Chain A
């Protein structure tokens, strides 16, 4: 099978996952299902992260691309983690 055709099928499959995960998050939040709020928020944020990862790996082609680009993409996440660590540390900031 030509590579372009398999890529097209993969892109459409990823679209299905993106739309499905998004709708799952909406259903979880709207129906609540008796789950604690923190669990719903955590689950939906994890779903969002999975969607972002799918877009970055397959639509932005980070999967299989040069490793340097992966470092460039990940670098801000380390800085964000550092900023969040400071932000949520009561020693520095009181929320």
Chain B
């Protein structure tokens, strides 16, 4: 186990692997999630190759909005890892502040995504408009659900920080929430150029 993980609140694990069960479980879950999103992205790439008109004449995505949203998600990845750094320093107010900022940035990302959806719907662009928009709403919809899940997870961890002495035994959950949040960021790192730039 790394010095980082130990200082982040893990006791030296007595598991066979030497890795805390929760952390190993989270990594296995993320591996399955990689397969899930790869299936969707793979389908998108195949459809992209077989359609010359992409995204079609019905409309297009606004690159600067996608760029701003990507920046928001990158910032949120940094804020949650700074929460983990604050945990190393045993700085509880800083942990809360960075977690709250992560939640706020995640919510902002969803807000911008909601605005984009509303804009498309107002122009009568829906999932059934054409293949591109089917892919767009499917990929971004599933990603947004994962962001929402991450926000709920972060809120749960934030609530744990107010449990006083009870927080001591729950600190590893911050690392798990961080792993999940970074995964959501990595998925968007690939979705952004595929949907907005190419």
Cα separation A18 to B32 with both chains bound (whole Å):
25
Spot the interface stretch: B103-111, B116-124, B158-166, B182-190: B182-190
A-B CB pair tally, cutoff 8 Å: 122
Main secondary structure of the interface of A (DSSP, over half): helix
Chain B, range 51-77, C-beta contacts under 8 Å to A: 63, 67, 70-71, 74-75, 77
How many residues belonging to B are interface residues under a CB distance threshold of 8 Å? 49
Q: Which 7 A-B residue pairs are closest in the complex by CB-CB distance?
A: A29-B197, A15-B78, A76-B34, A4-B88, A4-B89, A72-B27, A52-B186
Identify 20 residue pairs between A and B in the complex whose beta-carbon atoms are under 8 Å apart, listed by A's number: A11-B85, A14-B78, A18-B74, A26-B67, A29-B197, A44-B193, A44-B198, A48-B193, A55-B77, A55-B186, A56-B186, A59-B81, A60-B183, A61-B2, A65-B4, A65-B5, A72-B27, A80-B34, A83-B38, A95-B49
- Chain A interface residues toward B at CB < 8 A: 2-4, 7-8, 11-12, 14-15, 18-19, 22-23, 25-26, 29-30, 41, 44-45, 48, 51-52, 55-56, 59-61, 64-66, 68-69, 72-73, 75-77, 79-80, 83-84, 87, 95
